[in-house]
């Protein structure tokens, strides 16, 4: 059910995410959706929790690497589905439980990113005029912007940003 819901959300958007569409997609009766999830909001929250747990596990795995910053960056730039993020953000504006899960995920992901930045800077005895929490926000925001633009077909300025990020990695990780 969650796989079907994810596919609908990604391909068609939250307006099409209904119990009927999910049931049709996975070949079951509509009432079975409500057997497992009392409301569609419960299903959306469960879907986000599953996806966020997977993403946090990937970030934690990357944190263990000698090149944690690079791996976290690659995870954020390469695996982020900007459409899915936009859909969850839209839904979080009306589903309080989802909003709480989104906040929890962002805070947990940011803590991992901050730890990776601080560790890399200490390892190389490098200094940054920008505090680690600010760098984490900038990096994740830039990664999301690049992903959204790439998915739309925009590429101007991307090479310059990627080059700048690569120079930072060389300074603190290699």
Is 43 part of any domain? Answer: no
Residue 174: per-residue pLDDT: 66
Residues 15 and 85 in one domain: no
Residues 54 and 32 in one domain: no
Residues 32 and 52 in one domain: no
| DSSP letters for the chain | -HHHHHHHHHHH-GGG--HHHHHHHHTS-HHHHHHH-SSHHHHHHHHHHHHHHHHHHHHHHHHTSTTHHHHHHHHHHHS--HHHHHHHHHHHTT-HHHHHHHHHHHHHHHHHHHHHHHHHHHHTT---SS-HHHHHHHHHHHHHHHHHHHHHT--TTHHHHHHHHHHHHHHHT-
Residue 173: per-residue pLDDT: 78
| pLDDT per residue as tens digits for the range 97-127 | 999 999 999 999 999 999 999 988 888 777 7
Q: Tell me the two tokens of residue 108.
A: 């947990």
CATH number for the domain harbouring residue 16:
1.10.10
Residue 75: per-residue pLDDT: 84
Domain span at residue 67 reads: 48-172
Is 74 part of any domain? Answer: yes
Return the sign of the alpha-carbon dihedral for residues 76, 78, 84, 90. positive
Residues 53 and 29 in one domain: no
Residue 82: per-residue pLDDT: 77
Residues 144 and 167 in one domain: yes
Q: What is the pTM of this model?
A: 0.88
Residues 16 and 98 in one domain: no
Residues 137 and 160 in one domain: yes
Q: How many domains does the chain have?
A: 2
Residue 79: per-residue pLDDT: 67
Residue 76: per-residue pLDDT: 84
Per-10-residue mean pLDDT of the chain, 174 residues long, equals: 95 95 96 96 97 93 90 82 87 97 96 93 80 92 90 94 91 78
Residues 29 and 52 in one domain: no
In whole angstroms, what is the distance from residue 159 CA to residue 28 CA?
46
Q: Are 64 and 72 in contact (CB under 8 A)?
A: no
Residues 162 and 76 in one domain: yes
Residue 89: per-residue pLDDT: 93
Residue 40: per-residue pLDDT: 97
Q: Tell me the two tokens of residue 121.
A: 């800077």
């Amino acid at each position: 059910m969650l796989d079907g819901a994810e596919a609908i959300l990604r391909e068609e958007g939250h307006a099409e995410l209904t119990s009927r569409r999910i049931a049709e997609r996975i070949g079951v009766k509509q009432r079975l959706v409500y057997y497992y999830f009392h409301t569609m909001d419960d299903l959306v929250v469960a879907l986000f929790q599953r996806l966020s747990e997977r993403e946090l596990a990937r970030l934690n795995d990357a944190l263990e690497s000698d090149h944690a910053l690079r791996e976290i960056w690659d995870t954020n730039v390469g695996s982020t589905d900007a459409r899915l993020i936009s859909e969850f953000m839209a839904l979080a504006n009306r589903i309080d439980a989802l909003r709480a899960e989104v906040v929890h995920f962002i805070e947990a992901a940011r803590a991992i990113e901050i730890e990776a930045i601080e560790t890399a800077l200490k390892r190389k005895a490098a200094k940054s005029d920008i505090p680690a929490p600010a760098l984490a926000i900038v990096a994740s925001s830039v990664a999301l912007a690049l992903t959204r633009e790439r998915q739309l077909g925009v590429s101007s300025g991307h090479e310059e940003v990627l080059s700048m990020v690569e120079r930072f990695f060389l300074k603190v990780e290699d």
